[in-house]
Amino acid sequence: MSSTTSTATATTVRTSTTRIEERITLKQGGGGRAMRALIEDVFVRDLPPLSVPGRGLDAMDDGAALWLGDRWLIVTTDSHVVHPIFFPGGDIGRLAVSGTVNDLAMMGATEPLALTCSVILEEGFSRADLERIQASIRETCREAGAPIVTGDTKVMGKGEIDGIVLNTTGLGLTDRVVPDSGLQPGDRILVTGTIGDHGMAILAARHGLNLEGELRSDVAPINGLIRTALAAAGDAIAAMKDPTRGGLSSALHEMAVKSGVGILLEELAVPVSQAVRAASELVGIDPLLIANEGKAVLGVRPEAAGRTLAALRSHPLGREARIIGACIAERPGNVILDTGLGRRLLAEPEGELLPRIC
């Protein structure tokens, strides 16, 4: 669980004379500390017990794990809102399927059993756009080997919702649940490829930075890539997480806090494409804080780091995999960034750098 001590979740809008009622803010959807605090304080409280042994919402992992007697059933769900709905490298349909398939994979279930897909549409939404999104969903499902087995459609009045919202739920089976809390001092931290591509592509598309040609979202189902790594290293893969909202920083902080270790991150080892690096200099947003939709962070026992890296690089989606850091006993829950020029603590992103990104 998180070490967050904050009790006040919703930000209080303060004026000099009055205190206004608490409201939900965008920051609480940002994937960082504020969102975890909101979930813990509102949703996790007083949950009924699980019907079978397993790990439920209170584990705050990528999904739930339910013990079926011989294997684990992994269940995960995700709602998707992104603006724009079509962006360089993908669209909301590809994002929805990839997000759910990847959450299953992060728990160890790399062969999805089934997906559900619900769509809420705004009156007046373009039928051609809807069909284009559906084609993208179909294509991504084929890529991931994930069948959609049921769904739901709603239409809301003009102005009651912004365009389209997709929700996908995923089911998968696995013999071993990979938690995001299994790190020990000495473990190596690996990332499966370049960082920051999705968030920066969205930002560029949204604000008309003239870099669209070079900036493409990495959105992709990576269950096949993870399967390859697990086949090579098995139990030596101690923890996995997909660095989506809040980016690599948020993922590493969560793993460090839950595992009770410190993480020493080598900034110069983190793969970042030239276009993302340049764009991040321009707009002043650190690639470490930007969302990814086709990457994973792995914590691996030191003796297995080399063969895990080799396995990742043998897969088309893992060519740029790198070892980017190591776990240490000092400073549990903190991420220390070695910039190559010095060292500092990496701050955990608190707010939403970019709203409605995934």
Report in angstroms how near the CB of residue 332 gets to another protein at its nearest.
Answer: 11
| CB of residue 331 to another protein, shortest distance in Å | 6
Stretch that binds another protein, among 11-19, 51-59, 94-102, 143-151 (CB under 8 A): 11-19
CA distances from 263 to 10, 72, 184, 329 (A): 29, 29, 10, 9
Distances (CA, A) of 205 to 85, 107, 290: 11, 32, 15
Under the binding rule (CB under 8 A), the answer on residue 336 touching another protein is yes
What count of residues does the chain have? Answer: 358
Please tell me whether residue 345 binds another protein under the rule CB under 8 A: yes
Q: Which of residues 199-228 bind another protein (CB under 8 A)?
A: 207-211
- Pairing label, strands 148-156, 112-122: parallel
Q: Are 343 and 336 in contact (CB under 8 A)?
A: yes
Q: Which stretch binds another protein (CB under 8 A): 112-120, 184-192, 311-319, 347-355?
A: 347-355
Decide: is 307 part of the binding site for another protein (CB under 8 A): no
Residues 6+ apart with CB under 8 A from 284: none
Kindly state whether residue 15 participates in binding another protein, applying the rule CB under 8 A: yes
Stretches 71-79, 102-110, 193-201, 338-346: which one binds another protein (CB under 8 A)?
338-346
Which one of residues 41, 111, 122, 350 is an interface residue with another protein (CB under 8 A)? Answer: 350
Report in angstroms how near the CB of residue 300 gets to another protein at its nearest. 21
Radius of gyration (Cα) for the chain, nearest Å?
20
**What's the start-to-end Cα distance of the chain, in Å?**
24
Question: Which x/- pattern, by CB under 8 A, does the window 309-328 give for another protein?
Answer: -------------------x
> What tokens does 207 get?
């604000």
Q: Tell which residue, 120, 130, 182, has the closest CA to residue 157.
A: 120
Q: Report CA torsion sign: 329, 334, 339, 341.
A: negative
Does 7 participate in binding another protein (rule CB under 8 A)? no
* Interface positions with another protein (CB under 8 A): 11-12, 14-16, 27, 207-211, 262, 264, 268, 274, 277-279, 281-284, 328, 330-331, 336-347, 350-351
